[in-house]
Amino acid sequence: MSIRTVVDSETLEANKAVVRRYFEEGVNQASPTVIDEIIAIDAVDETRGPDAATLGREGFRQHAAWLAATADNVRTTVTELVAEGDRVVAFWTISGYAKGLVFGVPGNGRYFEGISISSFTIRDGLVTRYSVLPDRLGVIAQLTAADDTAAGTVGDSDTADEEPVATGQVAR
């Protein structure tokens, strides 16, 4: 038998607001103070690997530093938030220019966009656990593509007037 936490709609909205701050202030604005304001001291950032549980808030600082070292002009956009109990799931996109190692691909200055789903556990207005499922394959494909088609542009002027078909091939 599981125990479910009953949370009122006001708390659910407050939890969503914490997640919005994480992306808007923590990632987009790279605010140095937001981590102390919205992350619990003993929080777990599961992206930090096997030592995640021992890092606490410092794991979130490491994550922010990694992101800053990996990409320029990083921008996140939250497309949907779903809250139930103490959990908030965020559907979001990230974009930027690769300047460091991104999912095993050396920085090459290319633009990338990816869709991610993150899970946050929030208690007393603070994030206590974070995990993310990024679109690694989609980002890797963009960063390793042989031409500019990864950025959503057509490679040469001969195909500029042609319609793309559903498979990603150009109709002839």
Domain ranges of the chain: 9-146
- According to DSSP, residue 124 is labeled T
Question: Contact at 8 Å (CB) between 108 and 116?
Answer: no
Predicted model pTM: 0.79
How many Å from the N-terminal Cα to the C-terminal Cα in the chain?
A: 60
| Residue 169 confidence (pLDDT) | 37
Q: Which has the higher per-residue pLDDT, 24 or 49?
A: 24
CA distance 158 to 102: 32
pLDDT at 50: 83
pLDDT of res. 171: 37
What is the torsion angle, in degrees rounded to the nearest 10, for the CA atoms of residue 123, residue 18, residue 76 and residue 67? -60
Kindly tell me if the per-residue pLDDT of 157 is higher than 80.
no
Res 34: pLDDT: 95
The CATH number of domain 9-146, selected from 1.20.120.1200, 3.90.700.10, 3.10.450.50, 3.10.150.10: 3.10.450.50
Give the bridge partners for 45, in sequence order.
130
C-alpha span between 156 and 160 (Å, rounded): 7
